[in-house]
């Protein structure tokens, strides 16, 4: 039965056309303004069809049919318009190849990423489509060394909207350094981090690292002859080291074999990655009751550690000393919330990435006995002060092993998304123009394994590629003696990123990895546990921005002093 209204209803065809036009207008607004806040999304997606229901109502039996009809027509016209535009030749990225589903919506890529294999999907797309691939409606992935400096150099692009999905809206005023999208704010905040990881500071941290490595050796010595999960122990080691360096102590994972922190992070990462690929969904998801529990628990833990350290005061110049500006070098002291946010960043970025690279390095060495013996010979060389960090920095094979592990398995496998500065109009990346509103990434994993950058055998663990030509020929004459074309493009080696937003703790990571590898190689002989499936290591490796690792079961034997 038709309802009577205080105005003359439109013809049914005109009513439907009005709803369709409203949906198309909504698409135009989204395309021009890109609203992301929850309020704006509700205003655009819910209010118009609710109002238009009044026009549809006279042509239906009541609200129960008018409301779903109006919403369905409004949303479908909006969705159809979006899909057709994204696939049309009028889209700014129309000329770039990529899967149709990626062009239509980032939802497809986000779903792939949640499985933990996005690094392989990126690589597959580059193998299929070339060096520049459209991986989203408004996102490009580059596998091109010429894109590195224009994208990430001093005149490059700031962080992209990917980072908005990792920071709840209510916390965006106190983003961690890693997630800052404003270049000026990033430069201001980074000053404290630079002081915390300069050469004098690294010298102070040596004793802290050495003490924790010695503790690990003592613990592993009690487990001689049994199988240990070396990856797990390296995770506990680097976590305790970062607590010492960050907060002057408080981390005792090796002593307690505490798995709670790694569990919290591990459980939170898949959804955090999904929200990063679809940052607008974070506004909805993080407001749902009961969700994000593990992530909030970790943030609470980081805040507690920061407050405890602040209450204790300064006994030595740890990282917190610099972040909270206890020396009074900054005009405006940082807020407690800011320092807490950065404290959580330091624990994750400083421990997980280092333990991941160390785990890969030992796995690759155990898979390659020749490389293992060569490194052990260098560590045992009586002419070298292999216990001194300054000397370790000049051990060729040690550094070759670490760099080759970083090349094959960069700690951040899929790079860091960037986007043109708002108001800039866009950015030139080599021969490509990236318009404002478009995101881009240099895919590190693919770049590092590109034959044009590292040959021969770009997918093979070959530490010798990092040595001087004379040493290469002496150690591997069949490979480097002229039979194969040798390409070693260090400009394509970016495991710590480059430019103003590169990893501020890069030198600490190298120092820590050298000390750990030298010590363990000198103290123990290692072999895989009997029956260990070597292929399972890469199969169990999951790329959630922070890499999740499987077990690395190793049997240790004590070496003679």
The verdict on whether residue 518 carries a ligand-binding annotation is no
3-state DSSP assignment of residue 546: strand
- DSSP β-bridge partners for residue 554: 228, 528
3-state DSSP assignment of residue 519: helix
CA torsion angle for 264, 347, 409, 525 (degrees, to 10)?
-90
Give the whole-angstrom CA distance, residue 477 versus residue 456: 13
Give the whole-angstrom CA distance, residue 212 versus residue 173: 35
- DSSP β-bridge partners for residue 142: 132, 442
Pairing of strands 432-435, 426-429: antiparallel
Q: Determine how many CB atoms are found less than 10 A away from the CB of residue 447.
A: 27
3-state DSSP assignment of residue 450: coil
Closest CA to 392 of 503, 495, 513, 506: 513
Sign of CA dihedral 330, 336, 338, 340: positive
- The answer to whether 517 touches 398, Cβ cutoff 8 Å, is yes
- The answer to whether 473 touches 480, Cβ cutoff 8 Å, is yes
The three-state DSSP-derived secondary structure of 129-186 is HCCEEEEECCEEEECCHHHHHHHHCCCCCCECHHHHHHCCHHHHHHCCHHHCCCHHHH
Give the whole-angstrom CA distance, residue 454 versus residue 462: 10
Mention every residue, 6+ apart, whose C-beta is less than 8 A from residue 511: 202, 205, 206, 209, 389, 392, 393
DSSP string, 338-355: HHHHHHHHHHHHHHHHHH
Chain Cα centroid distance, residue 369: 31
Q: Please report, in range form, the residues annotated as the binding site.
A: 503
Q: Please report, in range form, the residues annotated as the binding site for heme.
A: 503
């Amino acid at each position: 039965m038709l309802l009577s209204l205080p105005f003359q209803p439109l013809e049914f065809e005109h009513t439907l056309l009005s709803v369709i036009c409203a949906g198309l207008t909504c698409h135009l607004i989204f395309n021009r303004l890109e609203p992301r806040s929850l309020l704006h999304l509700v205003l655009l997606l819910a209010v118009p069809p609710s109002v238009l229901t009044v026009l549809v109502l006279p042509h239906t039996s009541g609200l129960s049919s008018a409301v779903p009809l109006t919403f369905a027509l409004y949303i479908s016209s909006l969705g159809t318009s979006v899909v057709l535009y994204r696939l049309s030749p009028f889209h700014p990225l129309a000329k770039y190849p990529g899967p149709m589903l990626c062009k239509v919506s980032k939802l497809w890529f986000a779903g792939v990423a949640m499985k933990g294999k996005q690094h392989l999907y990126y690589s597959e797309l580059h193998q299929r489509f070339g060096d520049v691939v459209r991986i989203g409606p408004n996102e490009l992935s580059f596998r091109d060394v010429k894109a590195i400096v224009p994208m990430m150099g001093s005149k490059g692009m700031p962080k992209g909207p990917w980072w908005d999905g990792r920071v709840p809206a209510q916390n965006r005023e106190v983003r961690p350094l890693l997630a800052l999208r404003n270049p000026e704010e990033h430069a201001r905040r980074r000053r404290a981090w630079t002081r915390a990881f300069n050469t004098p500071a690294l010298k102070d941290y040596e004793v802290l690292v050495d003490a924790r490595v010695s503790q690990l050796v003592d613990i592993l010595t009690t487990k001689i002859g049994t199988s240990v999960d070396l990856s797990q122990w390296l995770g506990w080691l680097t976590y305790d080291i970062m607590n010492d360096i960050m907060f002057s102590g408080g981390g005792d994972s090796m002593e307690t074999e505490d798995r709670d922190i790694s569990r919290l992070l591990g459980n939170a990462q898949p959804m955090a990655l999904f929200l990063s690929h679809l940052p607008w969904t974070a506004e909805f998801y993080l407001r749902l009751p009961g969700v994000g529990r593990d992530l909030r628990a970790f943030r609470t833990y980081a805040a507690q550690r920061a407050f405890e350290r602040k209450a204790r005061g300064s006994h030595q110049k740890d990282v917190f000393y610099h972040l909270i500006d206890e020396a009074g070098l900054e005009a405006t002291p940082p807020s407690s919330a800011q320092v807490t946010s950065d404290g959580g960043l330091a624990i994750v970025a400083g421990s997980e990435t280092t333990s991941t690279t160390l785990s890969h390095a030992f796995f690759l060495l155990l898979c390659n006995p020749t490389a293992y013996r060569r490194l052990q010979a260098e560590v045992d060389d009586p002419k070298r002060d292999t216990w001194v960090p300054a000397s370790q920095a000049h051990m060729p094979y040690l550094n070759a092993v670490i760099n080759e592990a970083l090349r094959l398995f960069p700690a951040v496998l899929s790079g860091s998304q960037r986007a043109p500065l708002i108001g800039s109009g866009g950015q030139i990346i080599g021969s490509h123009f990236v318009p404002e509103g478009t995101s881009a990434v240099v895919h590190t994993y693919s770049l590092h394994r590109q034959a044009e950058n590292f040959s021969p055998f770009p997918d093979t663990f070959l530490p010798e590629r990092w040595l001087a030509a004379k040493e290469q020929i002496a150690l591997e004459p069949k490979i480097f003696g002229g039979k194969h074309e040798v390409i070693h493009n260090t400009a394509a080696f970016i495991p710590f990123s480059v430019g103003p937003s590169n990893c501020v703790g890069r030198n600490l990571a190298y120092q820590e990895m050298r000390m750990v590898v030298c010590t363990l190689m000198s103290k123990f002989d290692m072999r895989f546990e009997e029956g260990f499936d070597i292929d399972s290591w890469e199969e169990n490796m999951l790329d959630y921005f922070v890499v999740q690792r499987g077990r690395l079961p190793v049997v240790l034997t004590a070496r003679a002093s």
